[in-house]
Homo-oligomer: A and B are copies of this chain.
């Protein structure tokens, strides 16, 4: 598990060109640093705060872009699915399919995703305790899938705020599956702007260091060449040109903490 794997990319497929450009940049940096890399983007933002918000190109167009990404860069791809019927076609193209946090309790979606045989990245809902993730794991296992990942993205903390409980990573590790940290979404301030979530982009490196100090299997990250003009979650996105120094620090930290022997203090 050294170093961590990166699920990195952009929030939404704003355009084929942005996807290719961003992926090329991620590939260059992760190859240089020796970090296993999976390209991430969403073909549809199905739960935007406002109906007027940009949602993405949709399933068919999105899958074409993912195919081109895979053909061009020979990298695996992860994307999120929102309804049961999407699971099979998405899994034909994508290597990892992601269960959104808000939907993580929807049994039909979980089962449809699990049955594809793809790796499932399970986002922890903002309203679930870490130990409750075991129920979602059980649902997947009973549908025959044990290629599962748990992914932290923050817990509801009063109104319009999220907090990442660092003790939750250890609780989730005990459940027996790889644990990732979605630092981007954990930076959100839900309802923080008039019609969409705010974010704390200036603190992305700090929060990533805290999470990755826990010796995790992977990091989930969204970046954008110009976060202020991003069509979704710009307030949380890493400026793409900071990717190399950012990952360089996180990799050193990850290498160090994974070199530590466990200390029994119970």
Contacts and interface: CB of A to CB of B under 8 A. Distances in A.
Contacts of A212: 213
Contacts of A266: 201-202
Contacts of A205: 263, 265
A55 to B, nearest CB: 7
B126 A127 contact: yes
Contacts of A214: 206, 209-210
Contacts of A207: 166-167
Centre residue among A82, A143, A210 by max chain B CB count within 10 A: A210
A230 interface: no
A208 B196 CA distance: 33
Nearest to A195: B135
B265 A107 contact: no
A143 B51 CA distance: 9
A242 B191 CA distance: 35
- Number of copies of chain A assembled together: 4
A73 interface: no
A258 to B, nearest CB: 11
A160 interface: yes
Given A103-B102, A209-B214, A260-B249, A126 B156 contact: yes
Nearest to A161: B158
Contacts of A125: 102, 127
Contacts of A129: 159-160, 190-191
A108 interface: yes
B51 A139 contact: yes
Contacts of A257: 209, 249, 253
A48 B206 CA distance: 32
B132 A190 contact: yes
6 contacts: A48-B107, A51-B111, A163-B163, A209-B214, A209-B257, A210-B214
Given A51-B110, A51-B111, A167-B200, 4 more contacts: A82-B108, A132-B190, A164-B166, A239-B265
